[in-house]
Copies of this chain bind each other. A is one copy, B any other.
Amino acid sequence: MSGHMNDRMRGKMELLKERIKKDGIVDGKILKVDSFLNHQVDVLLLAEIAKEFKKRFEGESITKVLTLETSGIPIATMVAATYQVPMVVARKTVGKNIEGEVYSTQVESYSKHTTFEVLVGKKFLSSEDKILMIDDILSNGCALLGLTQLILDAGAKIVGAGIVIEKGFQIGGELMRTAGVRVESLVNITEITESGEIIFA
């Protein structure tokens, strides 16, 4: 990658930071990005995000993109489209009938203070697969740990995790990296101040 490309990519991620500062809503230690990443999704930004993940994981062979419902689905869809590989959505069990055998694990919810089960049909993860995990926000890492467990249960290879926004002041990123998982975060928030200011790494 040339220096020029690096500058351009830095520029794109600067735009993401500006967007977070402008449109993100801080509620305690929770950052809401409802207006461009979750509830309403800016597909132009999404295309840039997908391109950036492809750059970050350049040279890696990826057979499937895995996310956990719900907020990571649009990002995972666009990343999978960029790689032209299938996208798999791990499901929260409530009311879901999944045909056949499943891999399942428990995930804690940081924002809801509950534990829920996530599962994926066994036929959608095989030992031949090389999996890129995708999620919108990395906080305490419980969602990502759950996905990691599902991949390990299937005997598939973990290529890494592509995260749009890492909250560096929470333990998730450190936890995953210490466990040997490559985590690529497009922006890293090191602090949300008392006054609600967002500080980037």
Contact = CB atoms under 8 A, between A and B. Distances in A.
Contacts of A95: 109, 112, 114
A136 to B, nearest CB: 12
Q: How many copies does the complex hold?
A: 2
A193 interface: no
Interface of A: 25, 27, 32, 34-35, 38-44, 46-47, 69-70, 73-74, 77-78, 80-81, 84-89, 91, 95, 97-99, 109, 111-112, 114, 120-121, 123-124
Contact of A98 (B34, B46, B80, B99): B34
Contact of A43 (B47, B84, B99, B124): B84
B88 A40 contact: yes
Contact of A89 (B47, B70, B78, B85): B70
B39 A89 contact: yes
Nearest to A112: B95
B124 A35 contact: yes
B40 A87 contact: yes
Nearest to A85: B43
Given A32-B99, A70-B70, A99-B34, A121 B91 contact: no
B88 A39 contact: yes
Contact of A86 (B42, B69, B109): B42
